[in-house]
Structure 1
C-alpha cells in the first residue's frame, strides 16, 4: 500500500509504515503499537500464507478424489445400462427413416469442447480477537492473497476508532464503486477488514457453530492468552490455524509465580536453563486440554520462544481417537535442583495390538495409566532434591515439512519482509531441531563441575562420537539438544575434567559438584571435531538469535487508566 503524496498527517498523530501497510498512531500513546513485534507480524504473515497454500492443496486433493469417484460411478452406471440395453428384443424390423440424414461434420453438441471443471481456491476468513491499532489485520488483508476478509476486534472504543481510521487509510473499508456500463446502481465493494467492537471471547463463542467458524484465529494479547483459549479452540474450522502469543514469561519461564502458572496453564514451571522450551510446552498443554474437552486435538506446526514472548502456530482438528492420544503426549518432569538433569514421567501410555482375521489386519489401540515414579526423590547424578514440573506437552513442537515450506517461502520473498534475515535464521534452526525435550548449554554444565568450559563444537563432537544425535535449539544461543541422557552428558564432562583438572580446594564439601566428580566416567570421550558437528545453519551467516534492536526494548508499557480515559474523551 502506498500512501498518496497528497495525504496530510492529522495534527496529534504520527504515520507509521510497516511493509505494505501504514497506520496513524496517536502521538500521546506509544503503547498502542510495539515496533519490536514486526518480526512477530512478519512471521505470522509467512506462516498463514504457507498454511493457506497447504490447506488449499488438501482441499484440491479431496475435490479431485471426489471427481474420480463420481466419474467411476458414472462409468459403472453406463456399463450397467449398456448391458441392460443389449438384452432387449431386437427382432422387430425398423422402417427406414424418411427424414433427411444430417450433413457430414460435427454436430452442434459435439462441436463444443468439453471443459474440465477447475478447482477454485478457498477464500479464508481470519479473526484477530485483540487488534489494537489493526496493523496486523491490515497486513493480513494486504499481504495474504487467499484472504476473503479479516475480522478485527477490540473492546476499547478508542482502539476501534483507530482501527476504522487505519482501515480507511489503507483502502480496505466498504466502498461504493462506479456502476458498471449499462447499469445505474452503484456497486458496493465489501470490506476486506471488518472492524468489530466487543468482548473477544463473546465474539469467538458466536463463531463456534460449525457453519460460522473461521479459518484462522490470532490471539496476540498483552500478557497471557489463557482467558481466550477456550473460545478460540471452538471457533476455528477443522484443519484451521490457531496463532497464539503469550508475553507473561515471568510466569511461564521462572519459578517465581508457580501458583499463577498453574492457574493460567494448568502446570508448574521449570526452574532450569531450559525454562523457555518448558514455557512452550506449558502453553501447548493448555491448548491441547482445552481442545480435547470439545472432541478436538491440536497439531503443532511451529512453536517458538522469541525475545520476551512465545509464539505458537497449531492446527486444530476434530477426531475422537486423536483426542485420546493427548493423554500419552502429556508428562510430568522431575528436575534436579542441583545439576538440572530431568526425568520424564508420562501420564499415560498407548498400546497398539494388531490382529488378523479373514485376511484383514485390524489395529486395536488401548490406553493405560503409566507406572512411576521415573526417579527417586534424590537426584541419581548429584544427590540433590528433585522438583516437579508440569504436567506439560511432551510431543513435537514443530512439523518439519511445514517449517521447511515457510523457510522456502521466506527465501523466495526476502524483499517482502523487513525481518527476513532473522526469520531465515530462526526457521533454519527450528527445522534442524531434534524431536526431544529440552536442551543444555556447555557453560551451565561446566559450572556444575567447576571446570573450564569446552567449546560448543567440542561438546557436540564428543556426543556424536559417542553415538548420540545433536542439534541446536532456537530458544537459547549456544545450546544443544541431544538424544543423550544427562548421565551421558556428565560422563563426557568427566572425561573433559581428566585433561582439565578442577581445583578441589575451591569446591565445598557439601557441594553437588563433589558428588558429580566422585563418579568414574563410563566412556572415554573423543573431543576431536566430528564432521556432523557443523550443522547446515552454521554453514551460512544467519541471524539465529536476536540482538537488542533498540535501547530499553521489550514488551512496552500497558496503557494506563488515565491514557484510556483521555482516549475515550
Structure 2
C-alpha cells in the first residue's frame, strides 16, 4: 500500500474491515461496525451475481454464434474456460458511500468489478472517500462523486450492473431514479433501517406514505416489512416496464437487506397484480388470510389471461373467534428468496478467507435458514397460540410433529427464533391448539366467555373436516391413541430438529456495548 506524502495516517484512526483499511475522521463520516455482516454478505452476493451475469451473457453469445451443443461436462468446462478469460466488466454505483469503505471492498474483493462510483452528498464524506481511495491504492477503479444521489442516478439511465442503496432510514426516496439507472438484468442491494415504521404498528400512516402499504403486525411483522419494501420496489419498477426478481431478502437485527434483480420483461409486469396481496389479520387470535389483487389463468393454447381477483377471503369478523379483522398491505406476495442464488453465495462462503470475512459463520447460518424456509406467507410462534388458548406453550417439535402428521410441511424462518412457517391454513393450526388443550386437560369453564381462546375452543366447526381416524389408518397407526399419534415425531419434525441442533450462527451476538443503530451523522 502506497501512501501520499499529503496524507499523515497518524492524524487519523485506522480501521480495517475485509481487505480495506480506511482512515476514519471522528464525528465527520458515518461508520457503523455492527454492519460488517451486511458488507461481508454484500461482497459475496455481488461476486455471485457478477459470475451469474457473465455466465448468462456467455450463453447468449454462444447461442448467437450458433455453437454446437455439448454434453454437460463439456459445457461446464467451456463455461469455466470462458470465465477465466473474462475481463472485469461490472459497473457499481454506491449511492451513499460515507467513508468509501464499501466501494473499496467491492473492487478489492470482487474480481469482475470494473469500476465503482462512490457518491455522497456531504463534502466532508467525499474528502474522506478521496483520502481512502488514495490510501488503499484503488484510484484506477474507484471514483468519488459529490452529488444528490437521486439526481445523479436519474441522469445515468441503464448504466450500472449493481446499485447499492444503504441510507440512514428508508430507501424509498431513491427508488425511482435507481430503477432508471440499473441495467436490464442488474442487481440492486437495498437497506432500510426504519423498522420502527416498517415493522411497528405505531406509524401506519407513515408506513403507507413511504411504502404504499401498512404492516398488519403480529408475529410475522418482520416478514411483512420485507414484503412492503418489495411492493414499493415492484410498483416503482412497473412504471418503467420492469419487473423484480427477489434473490435474497433478509430481516437482520435492526434493518432489512434485499438483493433483487431488475428485468425489462413486460409480461412479468402484467403478473404484478397477482403477486400483490392484502392481508387480513384478526385482532383477537391473530390468524391471517391473504387476498391477491389479481388472477392469472390460461386458455387452451397455454396463453396467460389476466383478470380481477375474487374476494374477500374472510368477513369483517374472524370465523374462528369472532373478533374484528384488520387489513394490512398491499404488499408483495411472491417468493422472498432464490435458492440457486443462495447456493452460489454459500459456495463462495465455504471458500472465503476467514481473515477477511469475519462474519462467515453468520453468513452461513442465516443463508442456510433462508434456503430452508418454506415459500409461504408468514410465520407464527407456538407460544402465541398457547397464549390465546391459555395452555402451556408447546415446543416447536410438538407443533411441527402435529403439522406433519396432518399432511402439511413446516420450516423455521431466518427472521425470528422459535417461529414456524407452514403451508397449513389457520384452521389446522387452531385444530392442533384445541388438541393440545385436550391433551393438557384444560378446564374451559375457567376461561372468560368473551375471550378469543374460549370462542376457539368451543367452535365446533374448526377441524370438522379433519378425520384423524382415517389419517391414522393411512399411516398404519390404527392401534395408537389419537392424541399420542397426532404429536408423534415424523419426517417433518425430525428435519426441523436436525436443523435446529446443528451448530450454525443464526442471529447476531452483541459485538460491542450499546450496539445497534447509531445516530445520524453530523
What TM-score, normalized by structure 2, do the two folds share? 0.89
Structure with bigger gyration radius: 1
Structure 2 counterpart of 1:181: none
Contact 2:339 2:371 in 1 (8 A): yes
CA distances 1:235-266 after superposition (whole Å, capped 9, x unpaired): 11111001100000011101111110111000
Instruction: Give the distance between the partners of 1:118 and 1:501, measured in 2 at CA.
Output: 67
Instruction: Give the distance between the partners of 2:384 and 2:508, measured in 1 at CA.
Output: 21
Partner SS for 2:102: helix
The equivalences for 1:267-416 within 5 A come to 267-355=213-301, 363-415=302-354, 416=356
Structure 2 counterpart of 1:145: 111
CA distances 1:256-310 after superposition (whole Å, capped 9, x unpaired): 1111011100001122110000000000001100000000000000000000000
Partner SS for 1:556: coil
Contact 2:449 2:455 in 1 (8 A): no
Contact 1:3 1:22 in 2 (8 A): no
Alignment of 1:532 onto 2:496: no
Structure 2 counterpart of 1:442: 382
CA distances 1:317-350 after superposition (whole Å, capped 9, x unpaired): 1011111011110010111111111111110001
Q: Displacement of 1:551 after TM fit?
A: 2.4
Matched pairs, number: 485
Instruction: Give the distance between the partners of 2:328 and 2:345, measured in 1 at CA.
Output: 32
Instruction: Give the distance between the partners of 1:165 and 1:121, measured in 2 at CA.
Output: 27
Instruction: Give the distance between the partners of 1:314 and 1:418, measured in 2 at CA.
Output: 24
Q: Displacement of 1:122 after TM fit?
A: 5.4
Structure 2 counterpart of 1:206: 155
Structure 2 counterpart of 1:235: 181
Instruction: Give the distance between the partners of 1:393 and 1:122, measured in 2 at CA.
Output: 34
Structure 2 counterpart of 1:100: none
Contact 2:94 2:117 in 1 (8 A): yes
Alignment of 1:427 onto 2:373: no
The equivalences for 1:184-223 within 5 A come to 191-208=140-157, 210=158, 213-223=159-169
What TM-score, normalized by structure 1, do the two folds share? 0.82
Contact 1:134 1:167 in 2 (8 A): yes
Alignment of 1:467 onto 2:433: no
Structure 1 counterpart of 2:79: none
- Pick from 500, 504, 510: which aligns with 1:542? 504
Q: Displacement of 1:547 after TM fit?
A: 2.6
Instruction: Give the distance between the partners of 1:371 and 1:221, measured in 2 at CA.
Output: 39
The equivalences for 1:226-265 within 5 A come to 226-265=172-211
Instruction: Give the distance between the partners of 1:475 and 1:539, measured in 2 at CA.
Output: 18
Partner SS for 1:10: helix
Q: Displacement of 1:495 after TM fit?
A: 0.7
Q: Displacement of 1:452 after TM fit?
A: 0.3
Structure 2 counterpart of 1:492: 432
Partner SS for 1:544: coil
Instruction: Give the distance between the partners of 1:537 and 1:420, measured in 2 at CA.
Output: 18
Contact 1:425 1:537 in 2 (8 A): no
Q: Mark the CA change 1:166 to 1:41 in structure 2 (over 3 Å): closer, same or farther.
A: same
Instruction: Return 5+ residue gaps in structure 2 as ranges.
Output: 70-81, 469-481
Partner SS for 1:491: helix
Contact 1:473 1:480 in 2 (8 A): yes
Structure 2 counterpart of 1:178: none
CA distances 1:73-101 after superposition (whole Å, capped 9, x unpaired): xxxxxxxxxxxxxxxxxxxxxxxxxxxxx
Contact 1:125 1:147 in 2 (8 A): yes
Partner SS for 1:261: helix
Instruction: Give the distance between the partners of 2:51 and 2:499, measured in 1 at CA.
Output: 26
Q: Mark the CA change 1:70 to 1:271 in structure 2 (over 3 Å): closer, same or farther.
A: closer
Structure 1 counterpart of 2:358: 418
Q: Displacement of 1:8 after TM fit?
A: 5.7
Contact 1:253 1:279 in 2 (8 A): yes
Contact 2:409 2:492 in 1 (8 A): no
Q: Mark the CA change 1:163 to 1:486 in structure 2 (over 3 Å): closer, same or farther.
A: same
Contact 2:89 2:113 in 1 (8 A): yes
Contact 2:55 2:83 in 1 (8 A): no
Alignment RMSD (CA, Å): 2.1
Structure 1 counterpart of 2:474: none
Q: Displacement of 1:503 after TM fit?
A: 5.0
Structure 2 counterpart of 1:113: none
CA distances 1:158-204 after superposition (whole Å, capped 9, x unpaired): 1111111111111111xxxxxxxxxxxxxxxxx21110000001110
Structure 2 counterpart of 1:106: none
